[in-house]
Chains A and B, each alone.
Chain A
Amino acid sequence: MSEPLVRILQVEKSFRTRSEWRWPRMFGGKKTSLASHVYAINNVSLEIERGETLCVVGETGCGKSTLARLLMGLAQPDAGVIEYQGQRIDQLNDKQRMRYRKKMQMVFQNPYASLNPRMTVYQILREAIVLHHRDWDRHQVDLFIAELLQSVGLSKDAEDRYPHEFSGGQRQRISLARALSVEPELIVADEPLAALDVSVQAQVLNLMMDKQQELGLTYLFITHDLAVVEHFATRVAVMYLGRVCEVAIRETLFKAPKHPYTQALLSSIPRLDNLTLEPIHLSGEVPTPLEKPVGCSFCGRCPLANQRCYEQIPMLELQADGSQVACHAVAEGRSWK
C-alpha cells in the first residue's frame, strides 16, 4: 500500500482557558494552577491519501477546526505525531516549515475576515507568490496573478480592488486563489461554505471540484453540512468531542452508518428527498470537554450506552465493510430498540 500523504497519529491538544501571567514560583506563586483545560483533541489518528477528499464532520466544539490548525502548524500538538509524506512536521520551527507551507495551504471559514481589508487583491496574492518564488521578476508575478484570478473565475480588473468590494462568494474565490498561489498539494478547507448563500455555495463547491481535477489536489474538508459531505467527499471522518468516532468511505457511511452518533447526525439533516424521515432525538447537548473523558466521549447522550461505555475508551476498529468505528455498542452488537 502506498504511503498516505498525511498521517496524524495519536494527536492530543488541550487549551488553557485562562492564560494570564502568574507570578513566577519564587515570588510565592502557587504550584497548583486554577486554570482549567479544555481538551479539544484526544488521541486522534487519521490518514489522508493523496488525491482524495477527506471530509471531517462534527458539531461545534468537536475539535475539527483545531485539527486543521494543528495540521497547518498554527498550533502545536501536546502529544502525538503529524507526518507529511513520512516526514514529521509537528515540531518544526518557522524556517523548517517553509518547505511544507508550499505544499499545504488553507481556506478559511469566514471570507469577510480571512482577507486583509487593507490590501488589494493584487497585494494579497503577490505576498504569497513572492514569498515562495523569490527569484521571479515583476512581470512573471503579474502574469501568474492574472492567470490565478482567471482560474478561479475572477476578471483581471479584480486585481486593484479591496476585499470589501467583493461579495462573499467572490472573496472565497480570492481565498482559494491565494491558497493555490503556492501550487500546493493539499488544501485544508475549514468550513469554506458556512458563510455563503446556497446558490453561491454551489459555485464555490464546483470551483473546488474543478481545481481538484485540474491540479490533482488533495482536500481536507472540514464542515458540519452533511449534504455537502455526501456530495463532495471520498472518505468521511465523523468527530465528536475531540475524538474520531467513525471513518468510512462516503458510500458506506451514508448507506450504513454504524456509530450511534453518526446515525443521529444523519437522521437530523433536513432532507428534501425524504420528508417523512423523523430525526433520532439525542438527549442533551455537546458538553464542553473540561475533563479528559474516561469513557466514550459520546456516552452521555448515547441511547445505547452501558457501564462499559462510561469506563473504557473505545478504539477505532475495522468493520467488515471497511469502515472504522470506535464504539463498544457496535463491537458488542447492541443496537437500537
Chain B
Amino acid sequence: MSLLSVNGLSVKFKRRNGDLTALHEVSFSLDRGERLAIVGESGAGKSILGYALVNLLSKPGYIAAGSVQLAGQELTQLNAKQWQGVRGKRIAMIFQDPMITLNPVLSIGDQMVEAIRSHTRIAYKDARKLAIEKLAHVRIAAPVQRFDQYPHELSGGMRQRVIIAIALLLNPEIIIADEPTTALDVTIQAEILQLLKQICLDNGVALILITHDFGVVSRIAERTLVMYAGRIVEQGPTLEIINDPQHPYTQGLLNALPQMALPGQRLNQIQGSMPPLSEHPGGCAFHPRCPYAQDKCREKVPGFVYSGVSTVACYVVEDMLAEFAQYDEEDLDV
C-alpha cells in the first residue's frame, strides 16, 4: 500500500458569484521513501496542492471533493486537534522563504525545542540534545553555538538548513518542500538539494518537491507530476519525462529551456501564458496554447492514458496510441 494516496482532490475558492476551482480532481500516490516532484508554472495550482495536503489552505479556499489518505487514514475529515498529530509530526513542510517558518524573536534552538515538546513529552535537556543532533545532521557547522542564535544572524542558505532540521525533528514520514531553493543562489541551491536528497535517503523519508524548475527536478526526484491550470497533465519517472515528454505542454516547457536551442538561435516558445484561475478554458485547459489542438480538445477534458511508463492526459497521445494499437492488430492479423 502506498504511503500517501490522493484521490480526486478538488480545491475551490469561495467567491460571491460562483466558486473558482483551483484544483480539478487531482489523483496520485506516493510510496514510502519516494521522492516526487510536482512541476508547473505559477498559477498551475502546485502550491495549492501542497497546502491542501496538510489542510493549510487559506481562508476562501476549501477542499470541495476527494480524499487524502496517509497510510490508510483519511486526512480530509480530521479536526484541528487530530491534525496536530499529523502536521509537523508525520508530514513536515518546508517553504520557499525560511522567514515564514522562523519566528524572528526566538532563537532557533527555542523554536526547535518548542516544536519537539509540543508533540512529545520530553525533557528540555533531551529535546535540546535532539535539536543539536538534527542541526548537525543538516551539516550546520558548530551546531551547539548555532542553537542559541537568532534567525537574522544566519545567512539564507543556513536558515533553509535550519528549516530542514526542524522538519526532521519528529522523524516525519513525508516532507513537503514548496520551492525550497528558489530564493537561494545557485551555488547554495545545489548544496541544499544535495542535502535534501541525502536526508531522504538516510531517513527513508518521502519527499514531495514543489518547483517550477526542471533542473531542480532532475537532480532530486524519482517521479514527476506535471501540472497545468489545476490539473495533472502528465506523470511518470523523472528521467522518462525529461527525455521523452508526451504531453504537448511538457514538451513545450522543456523545449523552451535555453539549453534546448543552439546558442543565439530563437528559443522554442509556447505562445500565450497560463490562464488565471477565473478564466480556465473548458475542455483540455491547454488547448488555446496547444499546437495540436483539435475540436474535441475544446469540448471535453481528456482522461489519462498509459503511454509507456508515464500517464498522460491528452487526446493527441491517446489517438496516437490507438493508431499504434491498430497497426499492431493489423500486424497480428497478417
Contact B273 A167 (CB under 8 A): yes
For residue A2, CB closer than 8 A to chain B, the reply is no
Which of the residues A168, A250, A269, A286 comes within 8 Å of B215, measured between beta carbons? A269
Report the separation of the CA atoms of residues A221 and B308 in the bound assembly, to the nearest whole angstrom: 42
Contact bitstring A179-207, B, C-beta under 8 A = 1, else 0:
00000000000000000011111110110
How many contacting A-B pairs (Cβ < 8 A)? 115
B187 within 8 A of A: yes
How far apart are A125's CB and chain B's nearest CB, in angstroms? 22
Bound Cα distance from A158 to B79, whole angstroms:
48
A interface majority secondary structure? helix
Q: Which of B189, B242, B266 contacts A272 (CB 8 A)?
A: B242
| B273 in contact with A199 (CB, 8 Å) | yes
A49-85 near B? 1/0 per residue, CB < 8 Å: 0000000000110000000000000000000000000
Are B185 and A227 in contact, CB atoms less than 8 angstroms apart? no
Contact of B267 among A167, A205, A281, A285 (CB under 8 A): A205
A211 vs B45: C-alpha distance when bound (angstroms): 34
Given contacts A230-B259, A285-B155, whether A265 and B269 have CB atoms under 8 Å apart is no
Q: Which of B201-209, B250-258, B311-319, B324-332 contacts A (4 or more CB under 8 A)?
A: B250-258
B41 pairs with A272, CB closer than 8 A: no
| Binary A-proximity of B256-294 (CB < 8 A = 1, otherwise 0) | 111101011011111101100000000000000000000
Contact partners of A205 in chain B: CB under 8 A: 258, 267
CB of B141 to closest CB in A, whole Å: 9
Residues of A near B26 (CB, < 8 A) are: none
A residues 244-283 near B (Cβ < 8 Å) are: 250, 264-265, 267-273, 275, 279, 281-282
Is A232 part of the contact surface with B, judged by Cβ < 8 Å?
A: yes
Whether A231 contacts B259 by the Cβ 8 Å rule is yes
Number of A interface residues at 8 Å Cβ cutoff, please give it.
40
**CB of A152 within 8 A of chain B?**
no
Residues of B close to A197: CB separation below 8 A: 41-42, 212, 273-274
> Please, which residues of chain B bring their CB within 8 A of the CB of A279?
187, 190-191, 194
Q: A228 on the interface (CB 8 Å rule)?
A: yes
B186 at interface, CB cutoff 8 A: yes
- Select B259's contact among A201, A227, A264, beta carbons within 8 Å: A227
Interface residues of A, Cβ cutoff 8 Å to B? 59-60, 167-170, 197-203, 205-206, 209-210, 224, 226-228, 230-232, 250, 264-265, 267-273, 275, 279, 281-282, 285-286
Question: Could you jot down 20 A-B contacts, CB within 8 Å?
Answer: A170-B273, A197-B42, A198-B257, A199-B252, A202-B257, A202-B268, A209-B266, A224-B185, A227-B215, A227-B257, A227-B258, A268-B190, A269-B186, A272-B242, A272-B254, A275-B219, A281-B190, A281-B191, A285-B188, A286-B185
